[in-house]
Structure 1
Amino acid sequence: MAKLNFPDDPAASAPRQMHIYGADGKIVNTVTFGTDGKIASPSVMGKATAKQAFDFKKLLEDIRGHSNPIKVGLSTAGFGVAGAVLLLAVVSNLGNPVLFSDRREEWKAQLEGLKGAAWDVWLSYFSDVAPAWRGHAVEIFQQYLRFKLIGMFDQLAAIAKEMSGTMNNQYKEVLTYDFSALALAATAAPVFRALLKFSAHPVGRVALLSQSVIFLGAAANMVKQFADTFNKYQSELNDLELKLTDLTGIFYLMGNPAVGPRELHMDPNVTDISLWTPLEEDKK
């Protein structure tokens, strides 16, 4: 009977294969797991949909176009410096949400691959190994799968799930901020444009001054909300970074890739074919 074949290092970056043999010594199933070290790419459809739904360059052009009458109005009302600083802050905080949606899809694809590979290995064991073999080696092999291989898959999948969720939340936050900035500029520009025509009149100047104060207050509030959101996600990303640091301890000696990967070889007894008893023989 041919010897059982197991992958030497499930943590290796290249895809590995596990051959499962039947009692007759022939391969009954081959399971491939592991990755090429790269995050899976999101579907083309997902990327196209996100980009079609949001044109960041167009939004920038619209906001900059609306900014001109606002700048002139603020300067005429005596808020030129303060207005310029706040407008710059609002525009500088704009971001492209598609970047976050793309990363969300990448982590989702990574999660799908990890969970699929884990289930392929686990179900193959219960479908092809457990029903056909018994013995001490079977128990060792099951412990290896449960506490080493599958556990590592679960840890990686948990991080991928959290990263995808965080990217999705940031996508929504950035998109909300961008549209809020556009709405602020689009609604304020025509008002400033109209009031500038009457700015020479005392009543018109008072109205322009009042509009300037309202706009500056709204812009300052947006900047504060952005700062709060930024700090919130800095904290979340820091927590994820700590979890990733912990995760390296599972795969690398002392948690340091430079030291080398952990030794994940199974107990040598698992490859001793004498410790594997076909159930068909056991029934005889």
Structure 2
Amino acid sequence: MPPAPVVTDLRVHLERPTKSDFDCSRDDDPGAQDWYRMDKDLCLHRGELKAYLYLKIKDQANLTAEDWVVTDIKTGLLRPADSPWMKCDGGVSVRREKFTVGVDQVVTAVDVVFGEDVEDPRPQWVTLQSPLWLRAHVDSPSARLTFLRGRGQPFPEIAPELRLSESDGFKIVQISDLHLRTGFGTCQDAMERDGTNLGPIRADQETLRLVEEILESERPNLVVLTGDQIHHDVDDSQSAIFKAVTPMIVRRIPWTVIFGNHDDEGRHASSRESPLSSQPGWKEHI
């Protein structure tokens, strides 16, 4: 990957065991120089089909005013028809312009999250609400693109300063065993306080609602996630960990993570550090 990457093109590529169905309107070969395949199966390894996001990336230092760069991305049914926009498979539309604009207007990174209940919490990242159009398994959490314009906010030189107040003390909230999944997750034995059985409910939604209620009530100076934020054998570790840290990020509460045994379990799990270190911008992370 170049030291100062700029996205100059992208495509969604659907792979079958015998042939490939997806073909962008441009003639570039996905395996050619400057093309990078994101190491995430957009169909989440369910069924015979596999789909991947390919990014054409060049170093900013090697671009001229005559080079084309990506300045915007859209997904969904309403696809722009004017000339700067080019349509690709997967319901993706890409706006490409000559590199005569500032880098802050240019797409420099693209990622994928899975599920309707997750947003990319990294500063300046934009999560597209319409999912990719894929022939994925009906129960597969939807894949959505998220992208960054410009260079984003760098890591702070030092961690957030934590102060002990003489009047209020220093309050730490410990959160453990969230067991978040890719997608909503299901709780089969939820019940009311009086013991009334609620039947199957969306587990992650209720878990995060409880976390948010605690943060609003306690107003902590620090939150420590002490393991098993992710349920074992999830389809995408990054999407699950994004859900875990978003409540602190939106409230600007300093937080830190201790990983548990379930956080890197499973066939498709990421390493313990990779969901948090994939891009800079975790301002409150200590």
The structure in which a higher percent of residues are strand is: 2
TM-score under structure 2 length normalisation? 0.20
The structure with the larger Rg is: 1
More helix by share: 1
- TM norm structure 1: 0.20
